[in-house]
Chain A
């Protein structure tokens, strides 16, 4: 059974960089697309972007200038960095998997709350 687990600081200061890691267990990171999605409190879900195991990326234009994703196949992990954060970036962040770029996300992590505050 594939499982995804997000990890990282729960509190980030404004203007700093949010960094999260998603660890994949029960399956290989190879051949899949790995995505980040977030949900601000009381709001809907927002797709942040995806990274293919080869390193190809596709980011949401609304966040593209601040987002960097990477993959570490040796650790079966992929990561998200979001720079210059503000309170508007406070959200539950989810990682998920898809079999292709244009496909539904078949496995998700349970999410991690990141709060941006001084």
Chain B
């Protein structure tokens, strides 16, 4: 199965700063990669799909890029509500697999 490695595990940033999160796949997943935002006690929310398409409800401060094995989620200016865990998911090959997550904290 495809292994997704996210880095860093924890990212400490200040409000207004830029955050760059990485997701690396053990083999190509083409553009079949999604990012999710997950806050404690809440349902995970789809943030990015197709590696770069932003889901409904998220502002343009969120952007995704990459293809093949290297992917990046960028939050251009962190707001207080953006502090959460972000995890990537590949849906190119079965079984679907997930990265270990990056916790974005203040």
Contact = CB atoms under 8 A, between A and B. Distances in A.
B32 interface: yes
A19 interface: no
A9 to B, nearest CB: 20
Interface string A30-48: 0000000000000011110
Among B36, B45, B94, residue most surrounded by chain A Cβ atoms (within 10 Å): B94
B32 A102 contact: yes
Interface stretch (A10-18, A73-81, A83-91, A108-116): A108-116
Interface string B23-55: 000000000101010000111111001100001
Given A44-B99, A44-B101, A108 B49 contact: no
A102 B96 CA distance: 9
Nearest to B46: A106
Interface residues of B, number: 24
B92 interface: yes
Nearest to A61: B95
A67 B9 CA distance: 31
B49 A47 contact: no
Q: Which bracket fits the contact residues of A? A: 20 to 34
B34 to A, nearest CB: 4
B43 A110 contact: yes
B98 interface: yes
A105 B46 CA distance: 7
Nearest to A105: B46
Interface of B: 32, 34, 36, 41-46, 49-50, 55, 87, 89, 91-92, 94-101
27 contacts: A4-B43, A44-B100, A45-B89, A45-B98, A47-B96, A47-B97, A58-B94, A61-B95, A62-B95, A102-B32, A102-B92, A103-B49, A103-B91, A104-B34, A104-B46, A104-B49, A104-B91, A105-B34, A105-B36, A105-B89, A106-B46, A106-B49, A107-B43, A107-B46, A108-B36, A108-B44, A110-B41
